[in-house]
Amino acid sequence: MKKLISSVKCSFKKVVNVLYIVLCSFMLSTTSVYALNSNTSSIDTFIDFVCDWLIKIGGVVMLVGGVMFALSFQREDAEGKSRALMTIMAGGMVVGIALSKNLFGL
């Protein structure tokens, strides 16, 4: 008798678990979140402002890197040349990041 009750409990637990899984999958498949027509105009103007300044800052960093590169030729400094090239690349990365806002629909 105990064996029968134990097997019934085990099968009942399996059935309940399957029902929970089915119920949760239905609940997850029906919840949809849409962000259409969300009012993000205030943050969009801020992002435009910041990106405009990042382009300018990146250009200045690239300009400084170019001057560093020119001066490192005068001194024949290999480490200075590599630092200058890294500075130019860093400025280019900042400009690239600032221009990538269009990729995200901003």
Q: Residues 55, 105: one domain?
A: yes
pLDDT digits (tens, 9 = 90+) for 30-55: 656 666 666 777 788 888 899 999 99
b vs e for 2-20, b when ≥16 Cβ sit within 10 Å of the residue's Cβ? eeeeeeeeeeeeeeeeeee
49, 85: one domain:
yes
- pTM (2 decimals)? 0.58
Residue 2 has pLDDT above 90, yes or no: no
**Count of other CB atoms within 10 angstroms of residue 55:** 16
Count of structural domains within the chain:
2
Same domain, 87 and 59: yes
* Domain range for 5: 1-32
CA gap 85, 34 in Å, rounded = 45
